[in-house]
Structure 1
Amino acid sequence: MRIGELAARTGLSRDAVRFYERLGLVSGRRLENGYRDFPEETVTWLHYVRTAQSLGFTLAEIRRHGEELLDAPDSAEALSALFADKIRVIDTRMAELAALRAELSERVDTGCPLRAGAG
């Protein structure tokens, strides 16, 4: 299918499809007239990419793990492992943000909030 149809069927813009193509997330063959021709399964893959992004995965993570997930005999098990890893990353980041919030809270109304131990 051509890029316009792929864009319409996935709800993405043509520019977004081209962007994903530049990143190596999708690929299509070039027809003699220079148009891109994408296989049917690209629609399903792009829906997967968008869902993964909405779950907090970066495009680099999706690209890195995409092929192994598609080829995994039990992709549910592989996905569960990726989700568990992502949860650990989120938990770490939440702890870092909580510590940052506590530090900022200690500096409120200290006269010079940029000086540690100001007061």
Structure 2
Amino acid sequence: MLIGELAALSGLSHDTLRFYERQGLLHALRTAKGYRRYGAESAARLTLIRLAQGLGFSLAEIREVLAQMDALQDGALDAAQVQVLLQGKLAQIDARLEDLRALRAQLADQLTRACPLRLQAEQG
């Protein structure tokens, strides 16, 4: 299918599809006239990319997963591999939550003290 067909099917813009191609997430063949031609699997690949982004995976992480999938004969990760990926992302989110909790505690602590910026304004 051509880029316009894939854009209509996926709900993504032509620019997004071209960006994904430049990032190595999506592959297209070129026709003799230079048009991009995408395979039937491209729509499913875009669904996976959007799902993974929604789950907090970066494009670099998604590119790695897609490369793993491309290297497999059937092109699909098994349930154990998916579980490992999701557990890893969950661990990253948990670590980030801990960092945010610590930052929140520091900010809350500062609220109980005089604000240095406020003191400077009163003195000036």
The TM-score with structure 2 as length reference comes to 0.85
Q: How far apart are 1:86 and its partner, in Å? A: 0.5
Q: Is the 8 A contact 1:107 1:113 kept in 2?
A: no
Q: Is residue 2:107 matched to residue 1:108?
A: no
Partner-residue secondary structure (3-state), 1:110 = coil
* Match of residue 97 from structure 1: 100
Distance 1:48 1:113, change over 3 A: farther
Partner-residue secondary structure (3-state), 2:61 = helix
The one-letter code of the counterpart of 1:2 is: L
The TM-score with structure 1 as length reference comes to 0.89
Deviations 1:61-108 (A, max 9, x none): 000121213527752211110000011101100000000000010001
Residues in 2 aligned to 1:29 and 1:50: alpha-carbon distance in whole angstroms? 22
Distance 1:60 1:93, change over 3 A: same
> Which of 84, 88, 94 pairs up with 1:85?
88
Deviates more, 1:14-23 or 1:67-76: 67-76
Q: Which runs of 5+ in 1 are unaligned?
A: 115-119
Q: Is residue 2:54 matched to residue 1:51?
A: no
Deviations 1:3-46 (A, max 9, x none): 00011111111110001001010111111111100111011001
Residues in 2 aligned to 1:73 and 1:47: alpha-carbon distance in whole angstroms? 14
Q: Is residue 2:8 matched to residue 1:14?
A: no
Partner-residue secondary structure (3-state), 2:39 = coil
Distance 1:2 1:74, change over 3 A: closer
The root-mean-square deviation of aligned C-alpha atoms, in Å, is 1.6
* Match of residue 30 from structure 1: 30
Residues in 2 aligned to 1:40 and 1:86: alpha-carbon distance in whole angstroms? 29
The answer to which structure, 1 or 2, has the higher relative contact order (CA under 8 A, 6+ apart) is 2
Runs of 4 or more consecutive aligned structure 1 residues displaced over 4 Å after TM superposition: none
Percent identity between the aligned chains? 44
Q: Which runs of 5+ in 2 are unaligned?
A: 118-124
The higher radius of gyration belongs to 2
